[in-house]
Amino acid sequence: MAEFTFELNDDQKQVRDWLHGFAKDVIRPAASEWDEREETPWPIIQEAAKVGIYSLDFYAQQFFDPTGLGIPMTMEELFWGDAGIALSIVGTGLAAVGVLANGTEEQIGTWIPQMYGDPDDVKVAAFCSSEPDAGSDVAAMRTRAVYDEAKDEWVLNGTKTWATNGGIANVHVVVAVVDPELGSKGHASFIVPPNTPGLSQGQKFKKHGIRASHTAEVVLEDVRVPGSCLLGGKEKLDERLARAREKAKAGGERVKNAAMATFEASRPAVGAMAVGTARAAYEVALDYAKTRVQFGRPIIDNQGVAFQLADMRTQIDAARLLVWRASWMATTGKPFTSAEGSMSKLYASEVAKKVTAQAVQILGGNGFTREYPVERMHRDSAIYTIFEGTSEVQRLVIARTLSGMPIR
């Protein structure tokens, strides 16, 4: 088991510097353009694929880093460049994690490569869980999957919303209800292969931030997928449902559903995204405070500004440590006995919102304009307290874990 350390090894430092260079030289110069266009930055994704950042091999190497720091380090550096473009580059990863968390070895080997494509023909994937009436309340999910035994096919019907890459993805991973009586325990995940009839893009959302990342509804109308597209297989699903029914009768322990397994695995990574955005805003504010002269001296010479920067840096470092701890625990198999994954996501998300707001304030009127990047960073930061579990949901998870009570 890898020991927990705050020091990156030489290989990790080399990867970090490589990612930072790509973020600095490729992502940042394009950030404002793609934010204004509100379109998927396909040329940037392709450039990332050509250098090896947007690839299954690269993310597998980081995912299986024995220290657990590969993924958070990657997220922080890319999102330091720009949150919208970075999410377009890493958004496929959530669907890939969904397959890794719930799929068989054959399914992993078959579908994850198709999510990325190749440098000459890049593809993206989408993880579809949220619905118009079922976001944080996963038990309210209505998308149904019905098994057609005669054809060994599953028939999916429903509408998904807030899906990153929804509708433009080569592969969609869809969470659906297979047994309504079991609530959130009666869910399963399905692969919808490319060009499957019945799947279409609904509304594309015009967002406050992360505007270079495509977010849309996904409509499923009698979508038929082969039985082999049920992640984990039918035998495993039947066993899981049988256990859930027995525990429901006995009033037993909760059973994790497919969507929650994916979100739990990704929460520290989202925290790392928030750390990257916060760090970027802090650095802009620090540089500005050193060079902006008012009343004959740089504004950092005033305690009111200097103390804000001190607090910003302290909070960023604290958030990073929470993220690294949770990532190390997840990789080394240590249970989140105090909801450490939710802690990392909660704190880093709140820090990103606060730090970017302080950066805007330090830049004053300039910070409120699009001539300076902190305005965009502040808009982007709002998503971290919302997606993959709101801050309120994270607090609920933490409180339930600490107390052992069904807090509502």
CA angle 159, 165, 166 (to 5 degrees): 15
Identify any residues that bridge with 298 across adjacent strands, giving them in sequence order.
293
- Chain centroid to CA 35: 19
Is 388 a residue of the active site? Answer: yes
Q: With contact defined as beta carbons under 8 Å apart, do 193 and 125 qualify?
A: no
Determine the Cα–Cα distance for residues 101 and 264; give it in Å rounded to an integer: 10
Q: How far apart (Å, rounded) are the C-alpha atoms in residues 88 and 73?
A: 17
The rounded distance, in Å, linking the Cα atoms of 159 and 221 is 9
Q: Which of 153, 246, 388, 392 is catalytic?
A: 388
* Contact present, 326 and 346 (Cβ < 8 Å): no
Eight-class DSSP state of 91: T
Count of CB atoms situated within 10 Å of the CB of 153: 17
Burial class (CB in 10 A: 0-12, 13-18, 19+), 85: buried
Q: Considering only CA atoms, which of 240, 268, 254 is closest in space to residue 384? A: 268
Residues marked active site are found at: 388
